[in-house]
Structures are given as C-alpha cells and as structure tokens.
C-alpha cells in the first residue's frame, strides 16, 4: 500500500476542517457532448441583426464559410454559417409573415364562405372596413342572403356535323360585387386600402363566395420584393464576401 503526504491550507481564521476521501471503481468523468447547433427563426431582418452582432467572432462568422439563401416565394432569407463544419454549422432564418387577420379573410386563397358565416365574420371584424355603414349593410345582406340562379343550356347539331354545347349561369343577388378594406398584408407593416371582390360559386341551389383582390396581389408582390432587396442590400454592405444565392 502506497502512502502519500497531503498538505492542506486553511483560510485565515480556520483552525480545523473535515476532509472526506472516497474511492470509486470507475473514472468519474463528464460525457463529451456535441456542440449545440443553433437554428434560429425570426423576422425578415434576423440574418442581418445576427451578422451585425457576431461579425467580430471569427470562430463563428467566417464570411467565406457562410452563404445566404433567398426564397422570394416564401419571402424568406436564410443565413448559413460554418457551412463546412458538421458540428458547428448553424442557420438564422428571417421571414416576412402575412398578417394573421389578412389570412383570416382568406383573400386570394380560394377559401369558401357561406353567406351567413361571412356575414358574422364581417360583423366581428368591422374595424377593418373604411365605412361603418358599408359594413353594416354587408352584414345585413349576408345574414339575409337572397340569390336567384338562372341556368341556360343550348345544344345543337348541324348537318355538317358541327356541334354546339353551351351552358350559361347567371347569379342575381342582393350582395354588392365589391367592398373596401383597410388592412395590413404583413406583420409590422402599415394597413393598405384594398378593393375586395366577391365571387359566387354555385352548387345546385347553394351559393357560396370566395374573396379576391387583384390590388392585394399587386401590393403583396411589391412589398415582398422591396423587403427582400432592402435586407440583401444591408447584408452586402456589412459583409461583402458572403455568397447570396437566389432559390
């Protein structure tokens, strides 16, 4: 049995202390763990803000080992850093999100509304209408919806063999063909004044509506491109050596 001398130093004023020594059969070591992979999601400006704060950290941001992915359909910008390091690779994704209330209206999405349901929805979202009276009239007309569906079918076969088969359907209703909303399209953006059209869908005797707005589609495209180009210009100014790839 080997013996070794053990010297202990006490703090000032400490005259005695208890020392407990335990013998273990296995080495007590903490397990080696992989580095934590950072994958962040935020607003459209998130990649720029991340780069601005971490650019002075060479172990994290090496511009030659970073790239930016641009998806204009999704309206997103994604920063990938440490791209060639499986253990330390990370990403920061910024996305321009559609305003949740605009999504609820279902404009340009093909969402189908039955008249009473649409009337109740308009009533609970009166704040997005320019004219309170217009909103009240729409609600009343939808809750007491009346429509006449006229179908006309024309079929004929000429002696030469030419065939004519026409179907015409006309919906006459008490509902205006369009109305005006003031609503933001994207989170964090100012409201837009938009004309919204009601498009009737007929199934037998039942009539439903979808809401469409060419103006909203045009504004959507304009804001999307402006927001992405603004962020890319900021990133290029800050980090000239980061590759930017349009998807």
pLDDT in tens, 92-136: 999 999 999 999 999 999 999 988 899 999 999 999 998 899 999
Taking 90 as the threshold, does the pLDDT of residue 80 lie above it?
Answer: yes
Helices (H), the chain: 46-54, 100-105, 115-124, 132-143, 214-238
Q: Average of pLDDT values for 147-163?
A: 48
CA distances from 83 to 36, 40, 128, 184, 214 (A): 15, 15, 45, 37, 41
pLDDT of res. 226: 92
pTM of the model: 0.65
The domain locations on the chain are 39-95, 100-217
Q: Comparing 185 with 145, which gets the higher pLDDT?
A: 185
Length of the chain, in residues: 247
pLDDT in tens, 27-44: 767 777 777 788 999 999
CB 82 within 8 A of CB 90: yes
pLDDT of res. 213: 96
CB 46 within 8 A of CB 231: no
Taking 80 as the threshold, does the pLDDT of residue 236 lie above it?
Answer: yes
pLDDT of res. 146: 62
pLDDT in tens, 54-79: 999 888 899 999 999 999 999 999 99
Contacts of 198 (CB under 8 A, 6+ apart): 175, 176, 177, 178, 179, 209, 210, 211
Q: Can you tell me the distance from the alpha carbon of 46 to that of 43, in angstroms, rounded to the nearest whole number?
A: 5
At 210 the three-state DSSP class reads strand
pLDDT of res. 121: 95
Q: Comparing 2 with 11, which gets the higher pLDDT?
A: 11
pLDDT in tens, 163-202: 544 434 445 556 778 899 999 999 888 999 999 998 877 7
pLDDT of res. 229: 95
């Amino acid at each position: 049995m080997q013996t070794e001398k053990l010297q202990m130093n006490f703090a000032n004023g400490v005259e005695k202390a208890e020392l407990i020594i335990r013998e273990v059969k296995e080495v007590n070591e903490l397990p080696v763990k992989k580095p934590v992979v950072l994958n962040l999601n935020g607003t459209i400006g998130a990649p720029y803000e991340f780069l601005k704060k971490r650019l002075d950290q060479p172990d994290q941001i090496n511009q030659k080992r970073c790239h930016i992915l641009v998806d204009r359909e999704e309206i997103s910008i994604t920063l990938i850093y440490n791209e060639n390091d499986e253990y330390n690779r990370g990403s920061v994704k910024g996305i321009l999100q559609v305003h949740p209330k605009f999504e609820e209206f279902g404009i340009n999405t093909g969402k189908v509304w039955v008249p009473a349901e649409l009337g109740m929805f308009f009533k609970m979202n009166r704040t997005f209408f320019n004219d309170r009276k217009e909103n009240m009239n729409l609600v009343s007309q939808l809750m007491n919806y009346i429509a006449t569906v006229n179908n006309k079918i024309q079929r004929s076969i000429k002696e030469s063999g030419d065939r004519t088969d026409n179907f015409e359907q006309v919906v006459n209703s008490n509902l205006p063909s369009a109305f005006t909303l003031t609503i933001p399209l994207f989170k964090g953006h100012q409201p837009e004044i938009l004309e919204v059209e009601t498009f009737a869908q007929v199934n037998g005797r039942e009539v439903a509506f979808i809401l469409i707005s060419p103006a909203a589609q045009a504004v959507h495209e304009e804001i999307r491109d402006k927001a992405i180009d603004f962020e890319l210009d900021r990133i290029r100014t800050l980090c000239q050596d980061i590759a930017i790839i349009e998807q």
